[in-house]
Amino acid sequence: MRESLVRAGVAFLTEKGFASTGLDEILKSVNVPKGSFYHYFESKESFGIELIKSYASYFADLLDSNYLDPGLPPLQRIAAFMEEAKTNMARYEFRRGCLVGNLGQEMAVIPDSFRQLLIETLHDWQSRTAACLKLAQAENQISSNLDCDVVAASFWIGWEGAVLRAKLERSGAPIETYGAHFLNSIQR
Amino acid sequence: MRESLVRAGVAFLTEKGFASTGLDEILKSVNVPKGSFYHYFESKESFGIELIKSYASYFADLLDSNYLDPGLPPLQRIAAFMEEAKTNMARYEFRRGCLVGNLGQEMAVIPDSFRQLLIETLHDWQSRTAACLKLAQAENQISSNLDCDVVAASFWIGWEGAVLRAKLERSGAPIETYGAHFLNSIQR
């Protein structure tokens, strides 16, 4: 029951964000009474923390399944991650974005405890991307002049914009445009 | 009175977005009774449309004041725009983001009439940026191989991510990182 609450919570937050999502509609969607909810979670805030952590770890796995794929050259692994992310968005007709980006946009209305966790999550994804870029550098796919940590930081800063725009346009085209320009800009 | 309503509305939407902003708090902040509001606007939705248009035109002016500055080479005009946008965010301690990005993130909960207008606004900013990039190309600041329309599209897709991240980190650093990588990636 705990797990289905988390799954439903993540779905609501990726689609509507934190402020517009009521606890009641999450509970209703999985037929869980309020009393049971408070058996598992102390408050909407601690539930939110759990949802961020769950999404962070789900997404880190998705990154690793691409970035650590020995069957592809490193730069193509990044391209494959972007393709998979786009496909996942298409499955929900581009209604669901990135939970971290959604909450990041809601800074004014989310609990302050979320903030540090969101930043840490982005840094975690960033460092996985930097590691893959360093492999690409070692294989001479990208210039040795590039600072892979800075490039990975810039990639993630812009990536959340691409996901946002894909939601707005209900299309994968913004992800393709952003991804192609990013890869072109670092490729040898 | 109409003008101060629009000004207050824009401030609320850049900070909190549409769903979390109540009409009442906007009216209260400028001491306007509800009856007067409905004298000027038909509904919260038509007020929202007006706010998007007002912000779009304010921001187009801000872009032009940099992109059309004859005192700077074209690429430096884009750098100057980014610097000004960062300074404007710093003035409000990075609490206020981009109205268009905020609403774009709220696709699930905003009226559908906003959607096309937000896309058109981004395309307008994009085409102003493309024009400046074409000047940079004519002056040989960037490679003649680059498609300025595509580069401008990619810039704006990622830019909304940079603004979002600046809000999250309460810092101008994400805008600097994104801007520096963008300029490096196209500069000759």
A181/B20 touch (CB, cutoff 8 Å), yes or no: no
A177/B151 touch (CB, cutoff 8 Å), yes or no: no
HSE (side-chain half, CA atoms, 13 Å) at A17: 29
pLDDT along chain A (188 residues), means of 10: 94 90 94 93 94 97 98 98 97 94 86 94 98 98 96 98 96 98 93
B150/A181 touch (CB, cutoff 8 Å), yes or no: yes
State the pLDDT at residue B20.
85
Long-range (24+ apart) CB contacts under 8 A made by B134-143 are B135/B74, B136/B73, B136/B74, B136/B75, B136/B78, B139/B73, B139/B74, B140/B188, B141/B73, B141/B74, B141/B75, B141/B187, B141/B188, B142/B75, B142/B186, B142/B187, B142/B188, B143/B186, B143/B188
Q: Least CA distance to A184: which residue of chain B?
A: B185
Closest Cα in chain B, distance from residue A37 (Å)? 25
Mean pLDDT of chain B: 95
A158/B161 touch (CB, cutoff 8 Å), yes or no: yes
Question: Which CATH number applies to A52-186?
Answer: 1.10.357.10
State the pLDDT at residue B157.
98
Degrees to nearest 5, angle at CA A110 with A105 and A111: 140
Instruction: Please name the residue ranges forming H helices in A30-109.
Output: 34-40, 44-67, 74-91, 99-105
Which residues have a Cβ under 8 Å from the Cβ of B10 and sit 6 or more positions away? B51, B54, B55, B58, B99
Mean pLDDT of B61-71: 98
Q: What stretch of H or E contains A43?
A: none
ipTM score over 0.90, yes or no: yes
Q: Is pLDDT above 90 for B147?
A: yes
Q: Least CA distance to A169: which residue of chain B?
A: B119
pLDDT tens digits, one per residue of B45-64: 999 999 999 999 999 999 99
Question: Environment class of residue A161 by beta-carbon count within 10 Å: exposed (0-12), middle (13-18) or buried (19+)?
Answer: buried
pLDDT tens digits, one per residue of A105-125: 888 888 889 999 999 999 999
In chain B, where are the structural domains located? 52-186
Closest Cα in chain B, distance from residue A162 (Å)? 5
Q: Which residues of A touch B16 (CB under 8 A)?
A: 108-109
More confident residue, A148 or B19: A148
What CA–CA distance (Å, rounded) separates B131 from B137?
10
State the pLDDT at residue A64.
98
